[in-house]
Structure 1
Amino acid sequence: MKVDKIDIAILRVLDGIRGSFEYAWSKKIIEKLPYKAEVVKKRLLKLNKLKMIEIKNYEKEVGCKILQKGLDILAIWNFKKHGIIKYILTKIGEGKESVIYSAISPSNEYLILKFHRYYAAEFEKIKKSLAFSAIKLRGEELRIEDYKIDIPKAKAQVEFYTMKKLWEKGFKVPKPIDLDRHVVSMEMIYDFPGIPSKLLKDVILEDPKMMKEEIVNEYLNIVEKGQIVHGDFSEFNVMVKQNGNFFIIDWPQAVPTTYELAEELKKKDLENILNFFKKKYNV
């Protein structure tokens, strides 16, 4: 069962309303759309069946809420509409913080789609990040409380704009392609078509001492010239190609060097990567 522009229009209305109301009355949704009431009601049932929205029956009204799958579909629809992706290939990773899919662009390039997620324990951590402070400031101007800030969207903004800044300065990060809501599209780093390169933790290095020096130097240059601290740097966040080239990934918790705890985070980042090389290679 595929979605079309009517379904997308309904999802967009629900997405726009969700900042003010957990559930939107079906009557309110109908008022905002140029379709007959019966058409909208049938589509709401369809979207509920597809688990893109949740319908809740009240005494005199029907309430509707957009779900994670609905938000994902909106982002995918926009990426296709704007010529970023042709289609999605497969899921290649999933955790508490994000879900990763591979995709193909209209020019047949391999891409990564990173769908940022929210879980309660992460809230305090994300409050330190680059975009969050700006979003929070804007929220204060609009008198929006912390709990109303869209955390997955904030994380995606942090990651996209951090990577964009660093990539444009020539640092070793994947090229960011586009941003939509809570989803970042970026180039895939790979050795074999459609299969992402391995993480540092999973490769056997021929010259670990040289690789350690190159990675540490790149990190320090990012701090000094890029004015960014990764904030969660480790062997889990470096991809290594078979030719020895490497890329630093996962930037949603990045902070500017002006952040009050930036120096502390920098020391922890360096300790993490140096401890890895010491334990695995004794260098």
Structure 2
Amino acid sequence: MSKAAEYLLELEKNDFRLLTAVEVGMRTAQHVSVDSIVEFSKLTPDQVIKRLDNLHYRDLIRRWKGQFVGYQLTHHGYDVLAFRALSERDTIIAIGRELGKGKESDVFLAYDEEQKALVAKIHRVGRPSFQRSKKLRGYLGSKGHINWLYKSRLSAERELLGLKIANKIKLKAPKAIDGNRHIVIMEFFEGTELVNIGLKNPLKIFNGIITEIRKLFVKGKIVHCDLSEYNVIITPKEDFLIIDFPQYESAEHINAGELLYRDINNICKYFKRKFKVESEPTTILEIIMEEYEKQKH
């Protein structure tokens, strides 16, 4: 269970006010001063200082000492705020075990009011891999320096929107349920990454993935932009789901053809290498692009 889930029931209303105050301050400052926290939280200086010490001890905020004493949220503190918001609107009522950890996300089991299993994906875009890839992230635009809270929230919002587009066209992808800040809640799914499993009928899966790429582009009017053997999940019944949508781009993007080809080529190369499935990625691209252009007119 995540550290945030452990603290949700222990923290008091004023603790959440302080965490929210630090979050608000971090929109414009890397470290938020005590005076700013007092101003944003509407609590007295004595109340603030005592509770800041407690939150710092719990690793929900981090103290910084320089020209002044300032604070910033930790990942755990941001998790607490997001999980609290989701629980207050009854999207989830409990957090379970960790299901997986990626380069830029942590994934947990969650439950709703009816004890139905869900997936909680926590975006962690502050990890080092982000620095190598941020130039490719269209959703950051030209915003310059932004803190990890903002990066993670933008990533989650982007993924939630991408999933909703996928759900609308009935793509083989998890169903989006809700989201808050840097957390996306989706329907529970189980399976194994394509990269880690053998297939009884690889040609069927290959053709299915290419069909979904086409559907996403022609009907959904977006490109996944990060499709590979690492974000295709093979289910126990040997069907599949496409996951991880935060990098998607519009089919009208200036580089849409190039991005679409990269997705297609990643899948074609993997199936050729692992399963000896022969294909022509350039031909597949041309067919999809032609169909897309026809349906525009």
TM-score range, shorter chain: 0.7 to 0.9
Q: How many residues align?
A: 266
In the alignment, structure 2 segments of 5+ residues that lack a partner are 1-6, 278-297
Paired with 2:79 and 2:100, the residues of 1 have a C-alpha distance of: 16
CA offsets, 1:40-65, max 9 Å, x none?
22110000001111223467x53222
Provide the residue aligned with 2:63 in structure 1.
55
Paired with 1:280 and 1:242, the residues of 2 have a C-alpha distance of: 20
Shift in Å at residue 130 of structure 1?
A: 5.4
Paired with 2:200 and 2:173, the residues of 1 have a C-alpha distance of: 22
Residues 77 and 109 from structure 1, CA distance in 2 versus in 1: closer, same or farther, beyond 3 angstroms? same
CA offsets, 1:107-158, max 9 Å, x none?
212111111122355256345445434xx5xxxxxxxx42126211111111
Q: Does 1:111 align with 2:109?
A: no
TM-score by length of 2: 0.83
In the alignment, structure 1 segments of 5+ residues that lack a partner are 137-144, 191-196
Provide the residue aligned with 1:239 in structure 2.
233
Residues 124 and 157 from structure 1, CA distance in 2 versus in 1: closer, same or farther, beyond 3 angstroms? farther
Provide the residue aligned with 1:16 in structure 2.
24
**Identity fraction in percent:** 28
Conserved? CA contact 2:105–2:122, under 8 Å: yes
Counterparts in 2 of 1:242-257, with a 5 A limit? 242-257=236-251
Q: Equivalent residue of 1:147, what SS?
A: coil
Residues 203 and 212 from structure 1, CA distance in 2 versus in 1: closer, same or farther, beyond 3 angstroms? same
Paired with 2:82 and 2:186, the residues of 1 have a C-alpha distance of: 14
Provide the residue aligned with 1:169 in structure 2.
169
Q: Equivalent residue of 1:101, what SS?
A: strand
Paired with 2:72 and 2:165, the residues of 1 have a C-alpha distance of: 35
Conserved? CA contact 2:24–2:40, under 8 Å: no
Paired amino acid for 1:218: E
Q: 1:83 aligns with which of 85, 90, 93?
A: 90
Shift in Å at residue 165 of structure 1?
A: 1.3
Q: Does 1:148 align with 2:146?
A: yes
TM-score by length of 1: 0.87
Paired with 2:132 and 2:64, the residues of 1 have a C-alpha distance of: 31
Q: Equivalent residue of 1:226, what SS?
A: coil
Shift in Å at residue 270 of structure 1?
A: 1.0
Paired with 2:37 and 2:55, the residues of 1 have a C-alpha distance of: 14
Conserved? CA contact 2:158–2:247, under 8 Å: yes
**What's the C-alpha RMSD, in Å, of the aligned pairs?**
2.0
Paired with 2:220 and 2:83, the residues of 1 have a C-alpha distance of: 31
Q: 2:47 aligns with which of 32, 36, 39?
A: 39
Paired with 1:22 and 1:97, the residues of 2 have a C-alpha distance of: 21
